[in-house]
């Protein structure tokens, strides 16, 4: 029996077909011919992409409900998007992670850079959390989960269908157990000598941020015998790493009481609870209160959520990053360190670094940049897609 013919979608004459041929993985809605037939394609369906001269270019996923209407899946026009196809992509990704990490705690799939557009998979030992943030993966979640279990051997898979990215794809929010049984307690995650507690069912994103791993490690070098302030700490990212590196004390600040409770559990599991404290509340309010109290620390880290998630709010976001730097700088002892982070892909490094430097200057402090850090090697970058390089951490000495 012959396979059904795939629908065909075509680039507009003004579209940059060379970018697609050279590896760019997306087509925006204003670069595609959106006639009645294209608009009628089911979100997530596979199609053949042609250039304006009707030359076939790639096998793609189509979502007429998204601004990113086309995502490139495979350059092989004869590829079949089945469980075996998923398994091949997962196997390639797994081989890289197993080479660089001794234990199975890492980001296994980093979307386009690992050949699965819009898909994020974080692994927590025998449990994996999948975020199918694109329609094509959402409608094939069972296929993806089956391949994931076959390739990695994990017994539990959680589907985390929450977040802004799914809304942009016209997808609903849902968190469910896709295979196995939901963990009854937070999962202990060893990283940089620290122990983190990941709530994979109710925490932020997948339950833990693996991307800062190398920056936590660099911060450890600065933290021996130091007093450390970790603002926007989540489950204790920088503060627990600092304690594992010999910090004298660490104070974690976050707006989420459940996140701070998990951070405390991590400190207890590490045996450093006597050197660890938390303050729950708005980060800006807490920074203001610490300044009023005249508090100072050897190392201050601010790792906020994305203040500039899109170019539309870039200037507002940069002002927020400047404000963080201005409020945090006075809390750093002379000769101490200020670590400022951004996970906003719209705020590229030079803009973020300049905003941070302005804030430090407005606080009356002078600074050296001693290190710039990025996401770890389990968060590979797709060279043609700037958005995959979202994280930057700038280490200042004041």
Active site residues: 343
Torsion of CA 356, 357, 361, 365, to 10 degrees: 90
Half-sphere exposure of 22 (CA within 13 A, CB side): 7
- Exposed, middle or buried, 168 (CB in 10 Å: 0-12/13-18/19+)? middle
Cβ atoms of residues 217 and 192 within 8 Å: yes
Token pair for residue 20?
């697609």
- Residue 249 to residue 225: CA distance in whole angstroms: 8
Report the alpha-carbon distance of residue 122 to residue 198 in Å, rounded.
Answer: 11
End-to-end CA distance of the chain: 71
Structural tokens at position 105: 């705690």
Distance from chain centroid for Cα 177: 21
User: Where does residue 350 rank: exposed (0-12), middle (13-18), buried (19+ CB within 10 A)?
Assistant: exposed
Task: Give, in order, the Cα–Cα distances in Å from 242 to each of 150, 184, 195, 252.
Answer: 37, 28, 12, 11
How far is it, in rounded angstroms, from Cα 9 to Cα 62? 9
The tokens for 149 are 């279990």
Nearest to 32 by CA among 5, 8, 55: 8
d(CA 206, CA 210): 10
Q: Which residues contact 160 (CB under 8 A, 6 or more apart)?
A: 129, 130, 131, 175, 200, 205, 206
* Cβ atoms of 287 and 300 closer than 8 Å: no
CA angle 222, 104, 140 (to 5 degrees): 120
């Amino acid at each position: 029996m012959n396979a059904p013919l795939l629908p065909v979608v075509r680039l507009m004459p003004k579209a940059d077909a060379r970018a697609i041929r050279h590896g760019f993985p997306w087509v925006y809605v204003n670069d595609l011919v959106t006639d009645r037939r294209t608009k009628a394609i089911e979100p997530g369906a596979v199609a053949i992409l042609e250039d304006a001269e009707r030359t076939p270019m790639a096998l793609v996923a189509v979502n007429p409900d998204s601004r990113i209407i086309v995502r490139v899946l495979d350059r092989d026009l004869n590829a079949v998007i089945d469980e075996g196809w998923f398994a091949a992509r997962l196997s390639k990704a797994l081989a890289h992670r197993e080479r660089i990490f001794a234990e199975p705690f890492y980001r296994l799939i980093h979307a386009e850079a690992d050949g699965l557009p819009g898909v994020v998979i974080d692994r927590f030992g025998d449990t994996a959390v999948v975020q199918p943030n694109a329609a094509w993966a959402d409608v094939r979640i069972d296929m993806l989960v089956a391949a994931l279990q076959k390739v990695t051997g994990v017994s539990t898979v959680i589907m985390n269908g929450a977040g802004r990215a799914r809304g942009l794809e016209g997808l609903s929010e849902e968190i469910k157990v896709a295979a196995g049984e939901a963990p009854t307690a937070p999962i202990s995650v060893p990283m940089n000598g620290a122990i983190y507690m990941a709530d994979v069912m109710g925490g932020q994103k997948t339950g833990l941020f693996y991307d800062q791993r190398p920056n936590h490690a660099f911060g450890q070098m600065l933290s021996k015998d130091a007093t450390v302030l970790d603002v926007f700490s989540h489950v204790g990212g920088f503060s627990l790493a600092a304690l594992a590196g010999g910090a004298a004390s660490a104070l974690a600040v976050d707006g989420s009481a459940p996140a701070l409770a998990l951070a405390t559990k991590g400190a207890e599991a590490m045996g450093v609870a006597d050197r660890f404290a938390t303050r729950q509340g708005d980060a800006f309010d807490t920074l203001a209160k610490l300044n009023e109290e005249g508090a100072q620390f050897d190392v201050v880290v601010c790792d906020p959520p994305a203040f500039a998630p899109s170019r539309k709010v870039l200037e507002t976001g940069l002002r927020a990053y400047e404000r963080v730097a201005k409020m945090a700088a006075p809390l750093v002892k002379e000769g101490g360190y200020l670590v400022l982070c951004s996970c906003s892909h719209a705020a590229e490094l030079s803009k973020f670094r300049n905003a941070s430097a302005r804030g430090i200057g407005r606080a009356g402090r002078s600074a050296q940049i001693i290190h710039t850090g990025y996401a770890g090697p389990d968060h590979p970058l797709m060279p043609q897609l700037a958005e995959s390089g979202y994280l930057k951490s700038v280490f200042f000495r004041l």
